[in-house]
Structures are given as structure tokens and as C-alpha cells.
Structure 1
Amino acid sequence: MCAESVVNNQTSATTEDAQALEALPVDETLDHIEFHIRHDLQKRLDLYLRDRLPHHSRSMLQKLIRAGAALVNNRPAKSSTLLRAGDTVQLDIPPAVDHHALPENIPLQVIYEDDHFLAVNKQADLLVHPARGHWTGTLINALLYHAGQTAGTLSTGSDPWRPGIIHRLDRHTTGLILIAKTDEAHWRLAGQFERRTIHKTYLAIVHGVPALDNDMIDAPLGVHPGNREKYAVRTEGGRPAQTIYHVRERFGRSSLLELNPKTGRTHQLRVHLAHIGHPIVGDVTYGGRELTPLDITGPAAPPSPKPICPVIGRQALHAWRLHFVHPFSFTRMSLEAPLPADMLELLSVLRGTGR
């Protein structure tokens, strides 16, 4: 039987959220939270609070905002209020159900580690950190176990739910991710990401063959107008986004691309490649298709009653290399994560058929 396909599910308000909302008028039950916005985020208030408070559902946060529990610069705000540098956000919110990330013995492929940070080759189907409905089985749980086994630490960062996390990869994207072990290493590495001095290189297998060997995709991105769980090219109101691509191999009806994102927008590579008509193989969210051996080689035998499984059951996207400066020795570093088995198998089949 083939592996179960990935399905995106929208999260609704939890029972705990509803009970907490009913308790809103009782001041003694509320926590007062305050955030100071340091950068010009151009992000809606409800989306910002969802990211900062992952243990509360977005629908509950919107109800709290409508009830007047959220202030921006000491004035009642709307869910659609855009946050800018210098804003202060205040929120009175019912205490969340207490969740704690616990160590779990989940395999980790450590590419590099010293006293300040480590680099991990993240496997597919692994969330980076706990979120609504996914409190276990994440990279954070694996890192906590690794730290306990090696007498190591993880940075606290800006969010206690995401110790050590400087940047993220999508659940089904594999490859390099840097993890800070100390707070000082965290802000030094995070600063390199913010200044865009870290050079990131991805590998992707896409449908079709781009007309140009090299090009830059310059297309602003924003939330999809019809599905807030997705992103899309938005010429009006989108945030600037640039991706440079280089064609490494051609297979007739598909290609291996090397990608260098110049910005770091959510789903940027996936949306940009779909935008130019070359979605990533397996990325069904953005127009890609799962490829079976028959799709690639053509029928070589009579049809079988057994299901034909795809060669790869996720988007064929891998964070391959990182070039950056060590946060303490200031030496230039270059780390590389080997391709996972499913992408190697897909490439092997494509190279054997020229498709």
C-alpha cells in the first residue's frame, strides 16, 4: 500500500479556547501580554498574534480582538490592523492549556556541532517546532533529547516554545537547519539572516524545463486571496521576493534546479516556481504532481491490480548548502547536507530515462 498522501487541514477553535473566551470578562483569569515591534512587519495583527501565541487558535484570537482585548499603541485594534516598527501590542488573554515540549528519541543527522550551535539535516515529514495539534514528534522534541544526551543546551531565543530555532523549513522540505545552543549565538546568527548575509542554496526537481539556463524570479508574495493557508504572487500589497535559479540537469519533461533565495518569504521557492510554470514535483499544494515509475518510464508490463506508488510522496525540495560566518570565530563556513534517499531515487529514475 502506498504511503498516505499529505492533506492540509484548517484548524478550528478548540474547546479550551471556547471555554477561555467565556471567561474573558473575569479579569482575574486573564494574562496581560505585551509585544514591542522592532521591525516594519507589514503583518496583520491576528496573524502576528497567531505566530507569537501558537498555543491559541487564530479564531479565538480574532474573537478576543473583536471583544476589545487587543490594543495597538493603547488604542483598540482590528484583526486587519497592520503592524509597523515602533508599535506596542497589548493583549489580555485567558491562560492557555499548559503544554511543555518533552525530549523524544527521534533520529537526528547532525552535520556540524560545537559549543555554540549545531547544524542538522532535517528529514521529511518533521515539523520544526510544536504548534496547534502537533505537540510531539517535532524537531524541537528531538533536539531536547539530543541536548540531554550530550549535556548540551538550546538558546531561549524570542519564543520559549521554539528553543534554539533561528530559521525554519517546511514540514516536507528536507535539509540544513541551524540551531543555536546559546542566546548569544542565537542573536548573532539571527542577525546574519536578517541582514541576508547567509547564502542559502536549495535543490529542487521541477516539472518541465525552464527556457533560460539562469534567471531571477522577482515577484512579490502575499497570502492567497482564496485560501489563507497558502501564498501567492500578489502584485499589489505583496512583500518583495526574489529567487535566483540555475538549471543543473534536464530530463526532457523535468529538471533539477539550484535555487538561491534572496529573500525568505513563507513558501517562497514553491510559489515562485509554480508562478513560472515549473512547480516542484510532488508539491500538490502549488500545482505539482506526484510521479510514479509509470509516469516517468512509461508502461513496461501489463497493468497491475496493485496500487502504483509515487517515487516521492512530498515536494522534491532540499535545503542543500549554507554559507555564513561563525558567530564567535568569525571564520567563513560552508555546510552541505546530502540529498535524501527519495530525491536520489527520483533522480536515478529520471537519469535512466531522460524524462
Structure 2
Amino acid sequence: MILLTPIIITSLPLFIYVLFSKFKKKWDPRQEIVFESENFIIVNKQPDLKINSNKKSEPTVQTLLKQIYPNLANKRLFHEFYFPHRLDYSTSGILCIPKTKHACKKTSEAFSSRSTKKYYIALVRGLVSQIIVDINIPIGEDIKNPDIQKMCTAIEGNGNCKLPRNAQTIITVLEVGFFNDYFATKVLCRPVTGRRHQIRVHCCHLGHTIVGDYTYSNRKDVYPTRMYLHSLRLVLPTDIEYLDISTKDPFENIQEWKILKVIQNLQSGYINLDNYNTG
């Protein structure tokens, strides 16, 4: 498989990126609740927002949820709400918050048994040459960079990858085009496992870092005002409730993205990923 080396923009200094981040529109959880039942709350998390923090004054999913669900905030929980799965600070999209301990138990069991299906949409640097790519490479902690939380692939000869665990991501190409005049590819990703930074690390390993991923571009990709990775859909089968929740593609009709060719639509992408034998 031929994989083109991504082009990383380095023309603007880091303080411009930070400046744009400071002026982002404040997240209103009332507008971003995409589903609610007696068992679950599903929110569409904005990018650059922590799920929780030890600093009570810091805006997080936890503190913002407490504003509209004060009766659900459980003082016996360290972070007041149940968070059986997580999204990176820079990643936007679907996040499931069980309302009860029983619902949390059922959700955790579904994630542990890998009966859930998670789909992410991303813009990556360069042109991915195959319609489906299977990355089945262990991921561990990068001890070469102890000052930041960074992971790495445990390929042969990499002695800096601590405690690697099996990791598998299936990627299918949706569109190819240009992001601010540089080649890029829109992809749909299904992480079979759930390691920290898994999609970001596996895309980096392919040579196609996610647009705006400051950490895995070696701190060079500072121009975009966000990282272009979004949790698009979650299928959560439990015996208390079956969920299949999705959001719109947030990278559709954005000024920076110019489509050169549509490879397949989103529904075809879901089918390709679901039909792929994950082994």
C-alpha cells in the first residue's frame, strides 16, 4: 500500500492557535443534548473541553451538566456523574452518560465485551490510497516524551513504548480533497479496541496525522483552530435499552475543506466497516 507523506502547516506560530482557542464560543449543554431517556443522557461534546477536572471552577462536561441536571449530580461519585467511556480533550462528538449505577454497569459491560460500535469521522493529512485500511498494531505509553501524555505504536525495535496493549482500528475513505490547499482525506474510523489516543496514534503511524493534531504532528500542526476528529456515532446494545445515536458530520460544508472526489457516502462507509472481518 502506498501512503503519501502528509503536509504539515508550520507557517503560523503557536500563540495564534492559542489565541483562537481562547475565543471559541462557550458550549451550551442544553443545545448539545442529542438524546435522553430514563437510563442515559447523550451529549455532543465540543472540541477542547475536558470531561471532568479536579478544578471545580474549570468548565467541563461535568460542571456544565450539573447546571441542567443538578438532581443527577451524585456527591458520592468523585466527579458526580458516571463516565464509563471518554473522549480526548480535543475530540468532539457523542458521549454517553448513564443516569444510574445500574445503567453504568450495563454500559461498562458492553464496552468491555466489545459489543458496542463506535464510529469517528476525521480529516487526515495527505491522500490515503486504499478504500479500507486495517491497522492492528499494539499501542503503549511513549516514555520518550514524559512531559506530555503521548502514546506510541509498539513496532519492532521501538524500546520507548511502555506496556503496549493490542489495538485495532479499521479506516475507510469517504472523500479526498484539499484542506486549506493541502491534500487531505476524509475518513470514517471504527476503533475495535479502546486505547488512549488510539485513532490519533494509528493515523500517525500510517503517515496521515489528523488535521490539527498538535501532539502527534510533533507540535507542528498549529494552524487549524481545532483537531478534526469527531465521535460521529455510537451503537450501544444493552438489555435495558438499545441505543444507536449519531450526529451530523461537523466537517461538511466547512470553508477549509474542498472536495476533489467523493469515494463513498457515509452510509456506504458504515456498511463497509460493519462488513469488514475484524478477526
Deviations 1:4-62 (Å, cap 9, x if unpaired)?
A: 1699xxxxxxxxxxxxxxxxxxxxxxxxxxxxxxxxxxxxxxxxxxxxxxxxxxxxxxx
Q: For 1:40-51, list aligned pairs within 5 A.
A: none
Q: For 1:132-147, list aligned pairs within 5 A.
A: 135-147=57-69
Say what the alpha-carbon RMSD is for the aligned residues: 2.7
What is the rounded CA distance, in whole Å, between the counterparts of 2:177 and 2:73 in structure 1?
43
Residue 333 (structure 1) aligned with residue 240 (structure 2): no
Q: Which amino acid in structure 2 is aligned with residue 349 of structure 1? A: E
Q: For residue 86 of structure 1, what is the aligned residue in structure 2?
A: none
What is the rounded CA distance, in whole Å, between the counterparts of 2:210 and 2:64 in structure 1?
28
Q: Which amino acid in structure 1 is aligned with residue 93 of structure 2? A: G
Residue 243 (structure 1) aligned with residue 153 (structure 2): no
Q: For residue 123 of structure 1, what is the aligned residue in structure 2?
A: 46
Call closer, same or farther: CA 1:232–1:3 in 2, change over 3 Å.
closer
Offset, 1:333: 2.6
Q: Counterpart of 1:170 in 2: which secondary structure?
A: coil
Q: For residue 204 of structure 1, what is the aligned residue in structure 2?
A: 122
Offset, 1:212: 1.2
CA contact (8 A) 2:139 2:153 kept: yes
Residue 314 (structure 1) aligned with residue 226 (structure 2): yes
Offset, 1:319: 0.1
Call closer, same or farther: CA 1:144–1:117 in 2, change over 3 Å.
same
What is the rounded CA distance, in whole Å, between the counterparts of 2:57 and 2:84 in structure 1?
19
User: What is the TM-score with the length of structure 2 in the denominator?
Assistant: 0.73
Call closer, same or farther: CA 1:225–1:194 in 2, change over 3 Å.
same
Call closer, same or farther: CA 1:160–1:327 in 2, change over 3 Å.
farther
What is the rounded CA distance, in whole Å, between the counterparts of 2:247 and 2:188 in structure 1?
14
Q: For 1:171-250, list aligned pairs within 5 A.
A: 171-228=89-146, 229-235=149-155, 237-250=163-176
1:113 to 36, 44, 50: 36
CA contact (8 A) 1:106 1:141 kept: no
Q: Counterpart of 2:174 in 1: which secondary structure?
A: strand
Call closer, same or farther: CA 1:278–1:165 in 2, change over 3 Å.
same
Call closer, same or farther: CA 1:207–1:3 in 2, change over 3 Å.
closer
Q: Counterpart of 1:217 in 2: which secondary structure?
A: strand
For this pair of structures, how many residues does the alignment match?
228
What is the rounded CA distance, in whole Å, between the counterparts of 1:270 and 1:5 in structure 2?
24
User: What is the TM-score with the length of structure 1 in the denominator?
Assistant: 0.59
Q: Any gaps of 5 or more consecutive residues in structure 2? A: 1-14, 157-162, 262-279
CA contact (8 A) 2:110 2:238 kept: no
CA contact (8 A) 1:121 1:175 kept: yes
Q: For 1:274-289, list aligned pairs within 5 A.
A: 274-287=204-217
What is the rounded CA distance, in whole Å, between the counterparts of 1:6 and 1:327 in structure 2?
44
2:197 to 267, 286, 293: 267
CA contact (8 A) 1:321 1:336 kept: yes
CA contact (8 A) 1:156 1:183 kept: no
Compare CA radii of gyration and give the structure with the larger one.
1
Q: Any gaps of 5 or more consecutive residues in structure 1? A: 8-104, 292-309
What is the rounded CA distance, in whole Å, between the counterparts of 2:57 and 2:142 in structure 1?
27
Q: Which amino acid in structure 2 is aligned with residue 244 of structure 1? A: I
Q: Which amino acid in structure 2 is aligned with residue 264 of structure 1? A: G
Residue 350 (structure 1) aligned with residue 272 (structure 2): no
Q: Counterpart of 1:178 in 2: which secondary structure?
A: strand
Offset, 1:215: 1.5
Deviations 1:314-345 (Å, cap 9, x if unpaired)?
A: 2100000011225514xx431112234xx345
Call closer, same or farther: CA 1:251–1:189 in 2, change over 3 Å.
same
Q: For residue 257 of structure 1, what is the aligned residue in structure 2?
A: 187
How high is the sequence identity, in percent, across the aligned residues? Answer: 28
What is the rounded CA distance, in whole Å, between the counterparts of 1:180 and 1:161 in structure 2?
13
Q: Counterpart of 1:258 in 2: which secondary structure?
A: strand
